[in-house]
Every structure is written in C-alpha cells, then in structure tokens.
Copies of this chain bind each other. A is one copy, B any other.
Amino acid sequence: MKKLSVLFIAFFSAIILVACGNDDSSSSSSGTQVISQTSNNYYQGVIKNGHYLTSKSRGVSVQQNDNQLNLKGFENGLLSISKDQFPTDTYILQEGQYIDTNTAENWLGRKSKSNPDGLNPSGKDTEVPLYLQQMDEQDFMEQSHGDLKIKGMTIGLGINSVYYYRKEAYGAVYQKTLDDKEIVKQGKAIADKVLQRLRKNKDLKDIPIVIALYKQASNDSLVGGNFFAYSVNKDGATSVDNWKSLDIKNYVLPDETSSEVNTNDEDAFENFKNQVQKFFPNLSGVTAQAHYVDGTLRGMHINITTQFYGQSEIISFTQYVQTTAKKYLPNSIPIDVQISSSEGIQSFLARKTGAKNFYSHVFTSY
C-alpha cells in the first residue's frame, strides 16, 4: 500500500487550521454553515469555521488509485446509491469525518502484528493478493437546533479485480486477475468487519449504515469499475445479512473488445461518430463512456478531440454536433459531450434526464 504523502497531510492541515470568520446567512453557533443546494440532484454541503469541511480520509483514496477513473467512478457511483437511501431534499452531505487518515491507512493495509486492524489478508505481497483497495465514507446529516446531527452513513469499499504487485522494490509490475466469486466473498467479509467497528462509535450505533461494494477496473481501463452489491443496515445491526445485487456495467465505445454492449446502442453511437467524423475527416477522435443499469443504457459521457482552432469552426462544429446528437443518440438518458483541442476544452453540450434538447456552450475569450 502506498503511503500518504507529506503533501497531502499539508493540504488537509491547511484546510483545517486556517482560522477565518463566516458571514453567510445559514451560520450557526457552532460555526457550521450549509452550502445552498442549486439542484435537487446535488446535496447541500457543510462549511465549518468558514471553510469547506473536507473528508478526513480522502487523500488515502487518491494515493490508492493508479487509475484515477476508479476514484471518480467510485465517488459518483456511491453518491447515486446514497441518494436512493438519503434523499437530497432531506439530508445534508458531510464528507467522511469518522474514519480518519490513520484509520483508513491501517484498514487498507494487511493484517499483521504491527497492524492488527488491517482488512487485507496477512501474507506476502507476492503470494496473497490485496482485495480492499479504497474506501469512502459519506455522512448524512440533519439540522437540529442550529447544529448538524448524523442520521445516516454510506461506506463504499473498492475491491480489486486485478491485483498488481512487485517482486522487488522498483521491479517489474506483475498482475493477477482475481476470481469474481472471491471478490464477492472477500468484499462481504470486509463489510461485516467495517460495520462492527463503526457501531462501536456511539454516534453511529443506531443510524442506518449503507455499505456498497465496488469492483475496481484494471489500471489500463478507460472507464471506472462498478458497484455490484449493497446493503442497508438499520437499527444498530452489527452484521450484514441483507445484501442486494446491483447490475451496473460501464463500457467504452467504440467497443472493440467485448460484445456485451447492446447492439442498438452501439449502432446509434457508431452512426453519431461517423457523422461527426465526416465533418472533419481524420481529425476528430470520438469516444464514449456508456453506463448500464439492469441491462439498460442510463447515460453517456462523450469526448470529441479535434485539431482545429477557429472560433467559427468551433461554433459550426458545436451546432452540427448538437443536431447530430439529437438525431442519432438514444433519447431520454443524460448525455454530455466535451469538445477539446490540444489547447483544452473548446465547447460542451449536455442533455439532462428526460430533456429533449441539448444545452450547448462555446468557450470564448475576449
């Protein structure tokens, strides 16, 4: 396991230590404020003593992921699971404050004499795989007498699908694909231990604690992994016995390796791609992340990279993509499209769930 860098410790210390007044309307006697919600798709967040209250352990996850898509996908996926259990119009999201950096590092390590809390199996790195790769805590709060009280928690556990290891320091990286059944078994066993440990804190004794298991994508994947199971543990339960399976899959399009993507969706994307590439032949790369739940396409992130620069070209291209996307891409699902050149993002389009038309914006400069 990689160690948290000094940089990160400095980062979080800076956030926590700098003193500062607060002058917003929703401040309380305890110096806690709530960030206004601008969409019911998002939670209100927490400002404490004038600053955003950051996660006590997140730096660890950043260090734990060689493929940062596993981090983004994990955090976003966990938010989706949380929203079903803790609706955004009732609960305020506080970034994890119960599992601190030290605890997270210990739990993510191997069990050993010097680290009895390690949630990964004891043994040599070359012989026994690490299963638990990352962890995220989300706290769900309600306001009470001007203060915030914890009313629920969600824990995400990222389990490796591929174990990467070295036989010697700085040596070649070896990899071992882990068995799906073992991933499930290990994930559930770790979840049990985590739940037991959390229940020992008096704040967390009687609140609902949701635990969700995520299968990490491989390091070379162009899309993150996926959550495959979750459980809602009410009333102070100390062992998890009500696992629910999740059928979530993420793919990259065009899909050259697997034939698991729905053919209609694949054809729709291919048609879109061809139309776009006709506009500037050989000059546009068009790829997408496609998100499936229960076998149905639920969203897409599309990336178009081009080599042109002219403002009129970008405007025309963006209008063309907007018309083409509406014509060829699946209806109703949320889709966003980033159009970038080597100089960065040039324009962007997005359609929200259920909307008919795309919003578009061309980035300009004075």
A residues with CB within 8 A of B: 11, 14-15, 18, 20, 35-39, 42-45, 47, 50-52, 54-55, 58, 62, 68-69, 71-73, 75-77, 79, 93, 95, 138, 223-224, 250, 278-283, 289-291, 299, 301, 307-313, 315-320, 322-323, 336, 338, 343-345, 348, 350, 358-361, 363-366
Q: How far is the CB of A341 from chain B (nearest CB, A)?
A: 11
A36 to B68 Cα, complex, angstroms: 38
Contacts of A364 in B (CB 8 A): 72, 76, 301
Partner of A280, one of B51, B309, B343, B345: B51
Given A36-B319, A344-B344: A76 touches B366 (CB 8 Å cut-off): yes
- Let me know if B336 and A361 touch, CB within 8 A: yes
Contacts of A336 in B (CB 8 A): 361, 363
Contacts of A278 in B (CB 8 A): 20, 50-51
Contacts of A280 in B (CB 8 A): 15, 51-52
Given A76-B365, A79-B312: A345 touches B345 (CB 8 Å cut-off): yes
- Let me know if B35 and A319 touch, CB within 8 A: yes
- Let me know if B313 and A282 touch, CB within 8 A: no
Contacts of A290 in B (CB 8 A): 366
- Let me know if A52 and B279 touch, CB within 8 A: yes
- Let me know if B310 and A18 touch, CB within 8 A: no
Q: Which of A37, A307, A311, A348 has the most CB of B within 10 A?
A: A311
A-B contact pairs, 28 of them (CB 8 A): A14-B282, A14-B283, A15-B280, A15-B281, A18-B281, A20-B281, A35-B320, A36-B319, A44-B319, A45-B316, A45-B320, A51-B280, A51-B281, A52-B279, A52-B313, A68-B309, A72-B365, A75-B310, A76-B365, A79-B312, A223-B366, A224-B366, A289-B365, A299-B366, A336-B363, A338-B345, A344-B344, A348-B348
Q: How far is the CB of A158 from chain B (nearest CB, A)?
A: 14
Partner of A14, one of B281, B309, B323: B281
Closest residue on chain B to residue A95 by CB atoms: B312
- Let me know if B42 and A315 touch, CB within 8 A: yes
A9 to B322 Cα, complex, angstroms: 29
- Let me know if A365 and B38 touch, CB within 8 A: no
Contacts of A73 in B (CB 8 A): 365-366
Q: How far is the CB of A30 from chain B (nearest CB, A)?
A: 18
Closest residue on chain B to residue A282 by CB atoms: B14
A260 to B43 Cα, complex, angstroms: 41
Q: How far is the CB of A235 from chain B (nearest CB, A)?
A: 27
Q: How far is the CB of A364 from chain B (nearest CB, A)?
A: 5
Partner of A365, one of B35, B301, B319: B301
